[in-house]
Amino acid sequence: MKKYSDQEIKAFGLMPERIPKHVAIVMDGNGRWATERGMPRGMGHRAGVNALRDIIRFSSDVGVESLTIYAFSTENRKRPKDEIGILCGLLIEYFNREIDELHANAVRIRSIGDLSWFPTAVQETVRAAEVKTAANPGLKLNIALNYGGRAELVRAMRLAMRESDEPDEDAISRNLYTADSGDVDLLIRTGGDERVSNFLLWQIAYAELYFTDVKWPDFTRDELIRALQAFAGRERRFGGLKSNGAK
């Protein structure tokens, strides 16, 4: 739920009228963050979960309407079993620890992707969080779990074809997991790589892309402010011309 006034938002160096409605984040670099410190990769994921807390809170407080985070891709299933086990454990721990505060802040949680692949305990924890927060009017927090953008598009296409033999763009959009969050305005990727990695392929058609070398566990509120400032400075034309007609 938006907490800050326009005045307060300006005090962060942000423009109230240029806060993106939908922010998506590829939270990369946890493993390297840990390795650099001589720690096992799992510690990086744990630090990553801790970083998430402030980012969700601040996004909600400045009035971002939807935040979609890449927690586990379909490709992540190729990781060693023990790392997958650690991630599943962290997910359960995260929901158990954070759900009350998220709920109190009116955050609405939804998972996107194929949850059925996960152990029952993960599925049950995530579903319980979705049910508990379903009616909340605040930040829409979409957590991508066993998610792939192409798979989402195939699914959307199939669903749309149940409605019509010749689905149009709106029909596809309506059948995406993120239908009620709309297109992504700002896509952030941490960890130094500059790729999209099969995330929200349809939704990012006109997104502004922000890449940073900062590894996810070090992505603090100040780093998010930097990303939001960069977004505010971009000129979005959506394929049209500048308002004064100049290109």
Alpha-carbon gap, residue 146 to 38, rounded angstroms: 28
Can 76 be counted among the known catalytic residues? yes
Closest to ligand FPP by CB, 147 vs 231, is: 147
Q: How far is the CB of 96 from ligand FPP (least distance, A)?
A: 11
Alpha-carbon gap, residue 134 to 137, rounded angstroms: 9
Alpha-carbon gap, residue 21 to 69, rounded angstroms: 14
Can 136 be counted among the known catalytic residues? no
Closest to ligand FPP by CB, 27 vs 224, is: 27
Closest to ligand FPP by CB, 90 vs 232, is: 90
Helix (H) or strand (E) holding 57: helix 41-62
**Options 28, 61, 183, 185, the catalytic residue:** 28
**Options 76, 114, 198, 218, the catalytic residue:** 76
Q: Can you give the binding site for ligand FPP, defined by CB under 6 A?
A: 27-32, 45, 48-49, 52, 71, 76, 87, 90-91, 94, 143, 191, 216
The amino acid occupying position 19 is: I
Q: Are 178 and 68 in contact (CB under 8 A)?
A: yes
Q: How far is the CB of 54 from ligand FPP (least distance, A)?
A: 13
* Rg, the chain, Cα only: 18
Which residues are annotated as catalytic? 28, 76
